[in-house]
């Protein structure tokens, strides 16, 4: 299979990847990516393994190897080792809702045997029950 993105590491990049692996302080995800890039190195001193052999040795999928090669060629070795930043997700409650939930949780008497601590799930369930309980209307009798 023709590879569109071939990784050819310089001796400095290769040494950086070896130090990343051998230091033992990098997260496992970073270490695994460094191992993939070292095995995929098609430079003069690199082994130039195929994707299937790398997938078996490092226990990652072939699409992961292809994405890592592409990112290493396009953005650099150091960038390829790290995760891309993910967008922040907005909170589930806005400020007023959070204040109301806190006030409700602080005003409730905790269940017996809880030593004064109130589990968050209990407060949330009480809050949702209070929201659903509305004044009952009498329906017309048939």
**Count of structural domains, the chain:** 2
Residues 99 and 58 in one domain: no
> Does residue 128 surpass a pLDDT of 90?
no
Any domain includes 3: no
* pLDDT for residue 46: 87
**How far is it, in rounded angstroms, from Cα 55 to Cα 40?**
10
Residues 16 and 77 in one domain: yes
3-state SS of 71-112?
A: HHHHHCHHHHHCCCCCCCCCCCCCHHHHHHHHHHHHHCCCCC
Residues 77 and 100 in one domain: no
Residues 56 and 103 in one domain: no
Any domain includes 140: no
* pLDDT for residue 137: 47
**How far is it, in rounded angstroms, from Cα 4 to Cα 77?**
17
Any domain includes 138: no
Residues 21 and 57 in one domain: yes
How many Cβ atoms from other residues are within 10 Å of residue 128's Cβ?
11
Q: Cβ contacts of residue 6 below 8 Å, gap of 6+?
A: 42, 69, 73
Could you tell me the residue range of the domain that residue 124 belongs to?
A: 95-111+119-130
**How far is it, in rounded angstroms, from Cα 126 to Cα 134?**
14
Any domain includes 35: yes
Please state, rounded to an integer, the average pLDDT across all residues of the chain: 83
> Does residue 132 surpass a pLDDT of 70?
no
Residues 104 and 47 in one domain: no
Residues 125 and 73 in one domain: no
* pLDDT for residue 35: 96
pLDDT digits (tens, 9 = 90+) for 28-49: 999 999 999 999 998 888 898 9
Residues 24 and 72 in one domain: yes
Any domain includes 142: no
Residues 126 and 74 in one domain: no
Q: What is the largest CA-CA distance in the chain?
A: 91
> Does residue 124 surpass a pLDDT of 70?
no
> Does residue 131 surpass a pLDDT of 60?
no
DSSP 19-65: HHHHHS-S-HHHHHHHHHHHHHB-SSSS----HHHHHHHHT--HHHH
Residues 68 and 27 in one domain: yes
């Amino acid at each position: 299979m023709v590879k569109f993105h071939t990784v050819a590491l310089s001796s400095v990049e290769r040494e950086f990847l070896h130090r990343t692996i051998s230091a033992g302080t990098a997260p496992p995800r970073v270490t695994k990516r460094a191992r993939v890039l070292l095995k995929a190195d098609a430079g003069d001193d690199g082994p130039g393994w195929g994707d299937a052999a790398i997938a078996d040795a490092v226990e990652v999928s072939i699409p992961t190897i292809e994405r890592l090669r592409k990112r290493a060629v396009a953005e650099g070795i150091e960038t390829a080792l790290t995760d891309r930043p993910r967008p922040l997700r907005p909170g589930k409650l806005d400020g007023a809702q959070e204040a109301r939930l806190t006030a409700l949780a602080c005003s409730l008497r905790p269940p017996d045997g809880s030593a004064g601590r109130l589990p968050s799930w209990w407060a949330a369930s009480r809050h949702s029950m209070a929201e659903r309980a509305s004044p009952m209307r009498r329906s017309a009798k048939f």
